[in-house]
A = this chain, B = another copy of it.
Amino acid sequence: MSIVTPRTLPGFMQLLPKEQILFNEIKEKIQKSYERFGFLPIDTPVIELSEVLLAKAGGETEKQIYKFNKGDKELALRFDLTVPLAKYVTENYNNLTFPFRRYQIGKVYRGERAQKGRYREFYQCDIDIIGDGELSNINDAEIPSVIYNTFKELNFGKFTICINNRKILNGLFEYLQLTDKSSDILRIIDKIEKIGRNNVIAEMKDIAIDENKINKIMEFIAIEGTTEEKLQKLNNLNIISEKFQEGLKDLTEVVKYIKAFGVLEDYFKIDLTIARGLDYYTGTVYETFLDEYKELGSICSGGRYDDLAGYYTTKKLPGVGISIGLTRLFYQLNENKIIEASKKSIADAIIISMIDDYSYAANVATEFRKAGINTQLYTENKKIKAKFKYADKLEIPYVIIIGEDEISNNTITLKDMKKGEQREIKIEEAIKIIY
């Protein structure tokens, strides 16, 4: 047989077992946290009809899609979990109960230019709450509580959930008659920390914005203080715009309930410059930053949208949701050594037999497993040193040694690998220690 060099495509994460244990631990914590809030699981195909998957897409996104033909069908791989959700909800509309709260954790595909920390296959961990026709603001307030609970569980360090409402920004731009320039302005504002106040003003002048309008924008983004102070100052701006005032009212209500949902004040703040690039956000928007690692960018983002599935149905399906891009986040956290698995190995114990007959060893393994201990049996005919080296490499915390003595005494010798201590004890006693 001719030999092919096995290799993995660039942009595809493939971890060693120890990293995978850690990755899975994080993924499971996210799942458990989503379930804690009563979100229902769904799973959708990775492959969809191009026509269905790309009903809305266009531009940059469409270029990145993995598309191909199979038989007479043009197919595509999902590039996010939002379009599949829109498909799922409209396809199953009559069988779902609204508000429909779902989580989905799965791989998505984007043929981006490969670069360090950018992935073509990556996990997204999404939650969304979809209303049938309408959806109350309470949901917008509950989402930060999910973020809070999730990242508290994940224990990556102190984080801040930044909240804004798109209506405030959109209302301001409407009021200033700058709607057509809004994306340019947001792009400029976004650079304020890098280039400073004066350059931001200069750049706005460059795109022909009146000085008094610039002043209003600068006054707006300069709003600081506590959450209450910010809301008060927004009120004091006297922006005569229905949209602005609606956004302010929504934001005020959301903030009120965020606290009731147990999010500590230190963990969230109003950030008036957050807009989120995506077109479909229409109300509350969220971004989340690790306080010590702001350079990682937002680690959990999302928002409120008026219309989940306008390209599939005439039904109005407003929603609110967030997404964690787990693969990229994991890469960043791992690179920055922010994370460590609570368990280095899957096995809690490994059984090493000093004799050739494995009957007793197999019995002990079975007893341990029945007691709920993840147990491995070392099976190969190697020198004792090699057997211990194996246990050591896998970082299994307990080694159970079985020889003639243990068999005749109906015991095992338990070695605590961390302490380096070992002693001959009864099987039940060992189970109590390890479990």
Contacts and interface: CB of A to CB of B under 8 A. Distances in A.
Interface of A: 1-9, 12-17, 20-21, 23-24, 35-49, 51-52, 55-56, 66-71, 73, 75, 86-88, 90-92, 95-97, 99, 101-102, 107, 109, 111, 120-121, 131, 134-136, 138-139, 141-142, 145, 149, 256-257, 260-262, 309-314, 345-347, 350, 358-360, 362-363, 365-366, 369-370, 372, 374-377, 379-381, 390, 393-394, 396
A330 to B, nearest CB: 11
Shortest Cβ-Cβ A-B pairs, 5 listed: A68-B68, A38-B376, A38-B347, A260-B362, A262-B366
A261 B361 CA distance: 9
Given A38-B346, A46-B46, A374-B36, A390 B97 contact: yes
A339 to B, nearest CB: 16
Contact of A366 (B145, B311, B370): B145
A200 to B, nearest CB: 35
Contacts of A366: 145, 260-262
19 contacts: A3-B311, A4-B52, A6-B313, A7-B49, A9-B47, A9-B49, A13-B45, A14-B43, A14-B88, A21-B40, A35-B346, A38-B375, A40-B346, A67-B68, A70-B111, A97-B390, A131-B380, A136-B380, A142-B377
A12 B47 contact: yes
A376 B23 contact: no
A381 B136 contact: yes
A12 B45 contact: yes
A41 B16 contact: no
A409 to B, nearest CB: 18
A97 B394 contact: yes
A358 B20 contact: no
A371 to B, nearest CB: 10
Nearest to A83: B6
Given A4-B55, A346-B40, A149 B369 contact: yes
A37 B369 contact: yes
B363 A260 contact: yes
Contact of A6 (B2, B90, B381): B90
A435 B314 CA distance: 42
A76 to B, nearest CB: 10
Contacts of A38: 345-347, 350, 374-376, 396
A121 to B, nearest CB: 5
Contacts of A35: 346, 374
B20 A42 contact: yes
A25 B128 CA distance: 22
A39 B350 CA distance: 12
A48 B9 contact: yes
Contacts of A66: 47, 68, 70, 75
Contacts of A42: 14-15, 17, 20
A369 B36 contact: yes
Contacts of A309: 6
Contact of A8 (B45, B107, B135, B345): B45
Contacts of A394: 97
Contacts of A39: 346
A4 B51 contact: yes
Contacts of A97: 390, 393-394
A2 to B, nearest CB: 8
Given A14-B88, A23-B43, A66-B68, 13 more contacts: A4-B52, A6-B88, A17-B102, A20-B40, A24-B41, A37-B369, A37-B375, A38-B350, A47-B66, A135-B379, A138-B362, A142-B379, A260-B362
